[in-house]
Structure 1
Amino acid sequence: MNEMSHDPGDRSRADAIQALAGVRGVLFDLDGVLYRWEQAIPGACEFVKFLADAGIPYAALSNNSQTGPENLRDRLARLGMHFPLERVITSATAAASYVAKLWPGSRVHVVGSSYMHQAMANVNVQCVGQDAEEADVVALGMSMDLTMVQLAEAVRMLRDGAELVATNPDAMLPVPGGFQPECGAVAALLEMAGGRTARFVGKPNPEFFTQGLAAIGRSAGETLMIGDTLEVDILGATQSGLCSAFVATGNPIEGEPAIEPTVFVDDLFELRRLLQAGRTG
């Protein structure tokens, strides 16, 4: 399918300014919005500074379960963007909180990165290895070091009755030179082979957005979600009652979009102008 481009002409500039006039807080996706790999996306540093100068609180919601909030905060700082640690929220920490809330003290088999293991070890559950006879929950995050042996053990536990909790439904992640599989692709394998339906905790799950709102002390009706994935960032924002901005600096839109954000913008320079106009108008 041909990629479609969108600009504020899809909604008049005046309408876009009015739609964003009530924004008092901002939630960000990271990859494709503020940075791409180790490079800040043009306009990102200026946008974050604009929010800080205007006294608008902001936080990051990342579906990345392969690294922790400290590493993401430090990457942002290296690129010139300051985020308090408590306002960098990952799907791994969300998954750990979710499992501990629903199944406190349960036996949890973690399939994922070292950080995913660490996040689960920090909550009220009992982590069990792949040699365990059974588990109550299989907690899945993404790791490029996963093996078929590890996945086979997870399938065995699922077949024996374990619940499947996964960090995020993204099927792929853009990387230099192409793409790599993400958690959603691995979850599909475990769902089919293990006979269980995954419970995804990261975006677009509204509970994940609730954590972001709590971090910035804002309600959904006064908060803007900025993302580059319609099916994850924008869908989750819509279902959670936030307004949303799709930026065309990350994942492309193919075909006619089935999900409409509040505004489409080319980049954060354009979005900053719209927000500034709403504050001064």
Structure 2
Amino acid sequence: MDDVKHFIPHSIRRSALDPAAVGEAGIVLCDLDGCLVSDGRAFDEAPAFVAACGARLWVISNCSDATADTLSMRLARLGMVVPAERILLAGVVTLEYLARVEGVRRLRLWADPSLKARARVLGMDPEAETPEAVLLCRDPAVTVETMGPILADLAAGAVLWVANEDLSHPAQDGQPVAETGALLAALRAIRPGLRWSSLGKPDPSMLLTALERSGHEPGAAIFVGDNPDTDGLAAAAAGISFLHIQRSARQ
């Protein structure tokens, strides 16, 4: 991983979204928070960027408190048309992996109700009494009081999955908003030897899935993100060019 960290192929930097910077790409993969939106609001240039990219644009996000359908509707209200089939979110992607690849049926899911509904559609019980796995998403219901039950499930043999390891994502004013990784950090403070798995960035799984579904090779793609330690590393691992959006503290 250290070797990859110092090699982000064809990396460029901009202070805002710029259609010209992705003009040659056959497919444009774009992060959500910090790139298109923040605090539920679109950045000024985001709708024009999405429109300019058109059907080339895929949203690839560590978001774990929405489904593709609900996020597509949110973006539409902000003037950005991205169909659900071109949205990959870490929470849903992990749910689908656990159901279809790992064969998990008994799950303890700490997540938004929309993800629990999706888990049931996938044939899983998201509130199982004796879970095979625990999936931790960005969930306000996770508090100091719930740390004990989570650790008890793990001690009983459940495997821990985390939608993403991000400690925070940026607000409109540049200040950090706590993310799923902050919940993981609290669990690790209690149990330092804790083990877990994650398909969120910097793991390249979502990027590779978008390429596979769209029929594009890595050389035809560019990934637009604001965090080189997650977005940049995921792009590098997938062999995809990286456009680093480095905004000023206030937009």
1:113 corresponds in structure 2 to 112
- Give 1:157 deviation, angstroms: 1.0
Unaligned runs of 5+ in 1: 1-9, 12-18, 253-266, 268-281
The whole-number CA distance in structure 2 between the counterparts of 1:62 and 1:92 is 9
Contact between 1:31 and 1:250, CA under 8 Å: does it hold in 2? Answer: no
The Cα offsets for residues 155-189 of structure 1, whole Å up to 9 and x where unpaired, read as 00111221111101100133367433211111123
SS in 2 for 1:83: coil
Indicate how the Cα distance of structure 1 residues 65 and 149 shifts in structure 2: closer, same or farther if over 3 A, else same: same
Over alpha carbons, which structure has the higher Rg? 1
Is 1:235 matched up with 2:237?
no
Number of residue pairs matched by the alignment: 232
SS in 2 for 1:76: helix
Is 1:187 matched up with 2:184?
yes
The Cα offsets for residues 202-225 of structure 1, whole Å up to 9 and x where unpaired, read as 112111212222343322221100
The whole-number CA distance in structure 2 between the counterparts of 1:224 and 1:125 is 35
CA RMSD in angstroms, aligned pairs only:
2.7
Letter aligned with residue 186 of structure 2: L
Aligned-pair identity (%): 26
1:160 corresponds in structure 2 to 156
The whole-number CA distance in structure 1 between the counterparts of 2:57 and 2:209 is 12
TM-score, normalised relative to structure 1: 0.73
Contact between 2:38 and 2:172, CA under 8 Å: does it hold in 1? Answer: no
Letter aligned with residue 247 of structure 1: I
Indicate how the Cα distance of structure 1 residues 217 and 210 shifts in structure 2: closer, same or farther if over 3 A, else same: same
Letter aligned with residue 155 of structure 2: R
2:135 corresponds in structure 1 to 139
Contact between 2:33 and 2:169, CA under 8 Å: does it hold in 1? Answer: no
The Cα offsets for residues 108-145 of structure 1, whole Å up to 9 and x where unpaired, read as 1112222332232222433334xx2x321111101123
The whole-number CA distance in structure 1 between the counterparts of 2:23 and 2:76 is 29
Contact between 1:170 and 1:183, CA under 8 Å: does it hold in 2? Answer: yes
Indicate how the Cα distance of structure 1 residues 69 and 231 shifts in structure 2: closer, same or farther if over 3 A, else same: same
The whole-number CA distance in structure 1 between the counterparts of 2:70 and 2:105 is 28
TM-score, normalised relative to structure 2: 0.81
